[in-house]
Structure 1
Amino acid sequence: MKTIQAVARYLPEKCGGIQIRLSELLPVLQAYGVESKIAAAQDSKYENTYTHNGIEVYRYPVFPRPKAEPNHGESPHGRFEYFAHWLKEQKADIYHQHQWTPKCGLPHLRLAKELGMATVVSIRLPNPVCQRETLMLNGQEVCDGKIDRVRCSHCCGVSREISDTVIKRLAHTPLSISNLASGLLYQLKKAPAPLNTTATALLTPVSVPAYVVARRRGLLEMAEFADRIVTLSERLYETLLLNGVPQEKLIICKTGVPDVFLTSAQNVKKIPNKNLRVIFLGRWNRNKGLHILVEAVKSLPPDLPIELTIYGSAVDDERYRQKIIQSIKNEPRIRIAETLTREELPSVLATYDILALPAQWFDVRPMSILEAHTAKLPVLGSDVGGVNELIKHNVDGLLLPPTDVQAWAEAFARLSEDPNLLDKLRQGIQPVRTMSMEAADTVTLYKSILKEKAAQTESNFSNPLNFKQVISSR
């Protein structure tokens, strides 16, 4: 079985969880007889090919850099013909796309379908359904994820003084005009007031409603050209249904931790320490909520025994990082450590008492929770989608309001003052899903699609399943 795995960028560039997990999964799939090649975009005029972790990687050129909206890449990006030529030569059985951006979006998926490949799209982030890309309504509360041009427009900054009727009309603005308005707004954001505020008030309604409509259209076009859409969580599955994605296209296949994590974490012995040792893992990005942890620790009595160690990974927002650094200058209980490698992570995790995950967005399936549980660390997590599917409150962790600093501080105080609670949460941790399980389920998925495709070709009709498909446990 030959597969193409498509992403918007790839290692050894600085990448996020999507690329890291894929690089770990593909060698495991190889042991099941699945041959894979990576197709990844790069901001360049030229293509190139190399091998990473035993897998061939084709980097197709994207030039010039496409606009961020519509996010699914409604039109092919510059130099798309390089990707098209390469894909035609592969004659692969399966095309599996892991991102939904102008660099790796609808044109790529549509071409694979036209070439006769079985097509799969994995939705690993909320951006295909959410204009804010967080699934947090007004940035404050969990949203049901239904794409609505009026509600979504208000959520993304369109003034509530503009009537629903006007917003619905503005939603039909040609994308060329919306892109122009968006570009002007970007240029004027740093202009002095009142110019910047006037520009925001005038230009946001011209750009946002049309983008919301394009987002929903892109999602439904994804459903048209994908044989299966893979989700990683129950909540996201329900959100996709709510937005009109056919149930027979959807399947839940959850990610798992690399099997080596189990032995690496179990071989580390915790050194007794009077302090509550808290670890944070994640990018320097406000959506990760590190500022909530910092303020919570700083609000605790000076003599409360707690240590917070920040292992920041990629820097999405340098100003945010600098702000955090400035805020902890006089707080000896908080320190910033060097970024961990994947090899170091299991043994380092096992030396801490608890992982803190103050997500300020819908984190579809945060692997750090499973990695922490593998090392027998309970997790303090935000009570938001994705996170609350992996944490059982008061059993293997605690779920807290994402923006409530006082609630986080009180949780730290409880855990610091009551060691029995920490022991109880440790004992509540159950065995986690592994990458071997994920690989086996992925192979089952691929085989089922190919079998269905062969039957359709032979009989010239489809017989879609009419029930919710789940091929993975926790």
Structure 2
Amino acid sequence: MKTIQAVARYLPEKCGGIQIRLSELLPLLQTYGVESKIAAAQDSKCENTYVHNGIEVYRYPVFPTPKAEPNHGESPHGRFEFFAHWLKEQKADIYHQHQWTPKCGLSHLRLAKELGMATIVSIRLPTPVCQRETLMLNGQEVCDGKIDEVRCSRCCGVPKSLSDVAIRNLANTPLFISNLASGLIHQLDKVPVQVNTNVTGLLTPLSMPAYVAARRNGLLEMAKFADRIVTLSERLYETLLLNGVPQEKLLICKTGVPDFFLASTQNKEQESNNTLKVVFLGRWNRNKGIHIIVEAIKSLPTTLPIELTIHGSAVDEEKYRQEILKSIENEPRIHVAQTLTRDELPTVLAKYDVLALPAQWFDVRPMAVLEAHALGLPVLGSDVGGVNELIKHNVDGLLLPPSNIPAWAEALSLLAINIDFLSKLREGIQPIRTMSVEAADTVAIYQNLLPSTK
């Protein structure tokens, strides 16, 4: 069985969880006789091929860099013909696309379908359904994810003074006009705030409703050309149904923890000073909620035995990172440590007592929760979709209001004072799904799509 695994970028370039976990999964698929090649975009005029971790990687050129909206790509990006030529030569059985962006989106999926491959799209982020990309209504509360021009446009800044009828009419704005309006909005970021606010209020209705409509249409086009759409979460499965994706095309295949994490499990003993050691893992991004856990720690009495270590990874928002660093200058209980490699992660993570995951968005299936549980760490997590599917409140962790700093402070104080409760949460952690099981389930999906293996 020959598969193409398509992503918007790939290792050894700096990548996120999608690419890292794919690189760990593909060798396991090989043991089932599944041959894979990676097709990954790169911002270049040229193509190139190399081998990474035993897998051939084809980097197809994307030039010039396409606009971010519509998020799935309004049309084929520049130099798409390189990808098209390469894909035609592969004669693959299955095309599996792991991202939904202008660099790896509808045009790529449609071509694979036209070439007669069985097609799969894995949805690992809320991007295909949410214009804010967070599934948080108005940035404050959990949203059901139903794409609606009026509600989504207002959530993204279209003034309340504009009528529902006007917004629905503006959803028909040609995309080239929406792109022009969006470009002007970005340029206005450099002008005084008052001018920016006034003009942006006029331009946003020209861009946002049409982008929302394009997002919904793109999702339905995905459902048209994908034989299967795989997601990692029950909640996102329901959201896709709500938006008209046929149920017979939907599957849930949850990610698992690599076996080397399980081999690193060890019993930890509380240090003699009984200091609660809290760890945060993740990107420097406001949606990750680092500021929530920082402010919660700072609000606690200095006599409370607690420490927070931030192992930040990629820097999405440098300004945000600097804000955090400034806020902890005089806070000896909070430390910023180096980014951990995958090899280092199990050993270092096992030294802590609890993982904090103050997500401010719909984190579809945060692997940090599974990795922490695999090493015996309870998790304090935001009570939002994805996170609350992995944490059992008061059993193996605590679920907390995402942005309620006093609630986070209270939970941290409880764990720092009540060692017995922390031990109870440790004991409540159940066996973790492994990547080996994920690999077997993935192969079953592939086999069910190929007539000769049914």
**Deviation at 1:194?**
2.8
1:264 aligns with: 264
Moved more, 304-313 or 191-200: 191-200
Q: Where does the alignment leave 5 or more consecutive residues of structure 1 unmatched?
A: 456-474
Alpha-carbon distance in 2 for matches of 1:188, 1:358: 32
2:42 aligns with: 42
Where 1:187 maps in the other structure, the secondary structure is: helix
Report matched runs for 1:413-424 at 5 Å.
Answer: 413-424=413-424
Pair 273,430 (structure 1): closer, same or farther in 2 beyond 3 Å: farther
**Deviation at 1:69?**
0.3
Aligned length in residues: 454
1:134 aligns with: 134
Pair 273,92 (structure 1): closer, same or farther in 2 beyond 3 Å: farther
Q: Is the 8 A contact 1:269 1:350 kept in 2?
A: no
2:8 aligns with: 8
Is residue 281 of structure 2 the alignment partner of residue 288 of structure 1?
A: no
**Deviation at 1:330?**
0.3
Alpha-carbon distance in 2 for matches of 1:410, 1:148: 38
2:228 aligns with: 228
Task: Tell me the amino acid that sits aligned with residue 415 of structure 2.
Answer: L
Alpha-carbon distance in 2 for matches of 1:265, 1:364: 25
Alpha-carbon distance in 1 for matches of 2:396, 2:267: 21
1:30 aligns with: 30
Alpha-carbon distance in 1 for matches of 2:426, 2:156: 40
**Deviation at 1:265?**
2.7
Q: Is the 8 A contact 2:181 2:204 kept in 1?
A: yes
Greater than 2 Å deviation, 4+ residue runs: 265-273
1:325 aligns with: 325
TM-score normalised by the chain length of structure 1: 0.94
Alpha-carbon distance in 2 for matches of 1:194, 1:260: 54
Q: Give the aligned CA root-mean-square deviation in angstroms.
A: 1.1
Q: Is the 8 A contact 1:309 1:334 kept in 2?
A: yes
Alpha-carbon distance in 2 for matches of 1:267, 1:192: 56
Where 1:15 maps in the other structure, the secondary structure is: coil
Where 2:280 maps in the other structure, the secondary structure is: strand
Where 1:165 maps in the other structure, the secondary structure is: helix
**Deviation at 1:269?**
6.6
Alpha-carbon distance in 2 for matches of 1:382, 1:333: 22
Q: Is the 8 A contact 2:124 2:231 kept in 1?
A: yes
Task: Tell me the amino acid that sits aligned with residue 85 of structure 1.
Answer: H
1:298-357 CA distance string (max 9 Å, x none) = 000011010000000000000000000000000000000000000011111111100000
Q: Is the 8 A contact 2:357 2:382 kept in 1?
A: yes
Report matched runs for 1:199-238 at 5 Å.
Answer: 199-238=199-238
TM-score normalised by the chain length of structure 2: 0.99
Alpha-carbon distance in 2 for matches of 1:335, 1:95: 44
Q: Is the 8 A contact 1:270 1:351 kept in 2?
A: no
2:244 aligns with: 244
Q: Is the 8 A contact 2:447 2:453 kept in 1?
A: no
2:162 aligns with: 162
Where 1:388 maps in the other structure, the secondary structure is: helix
1:99-150 CA distance string (max 9 Å, x none) = 0000000000000000000000000000000000000000000000000000
**Deviation at 1:199?**
1.6
Pair 64,386 (structure 1): closer, same or farther in 2 beyond 3 Å: same
Pair 233,16 (structure 1): closer, same or farther in 2 beyond 3 Å: same
Is residue 20 of structure 2 the alignment partner of residue 20 of structure 1?
A: yes
1:408-455 CA distance string (max 9 Å, x none) = 00000000111111011000000000000000000000000113x888
1:122 aligns with: 122
Alpha-carbon distance in 2 for matches of 1:82, 1:154: 39
Where 1:194 maps in the other structure, the secondary structure is: helix
Where 2:388 maps in the other structure, the secondary structure is: coil
2:403 aligns with: 403
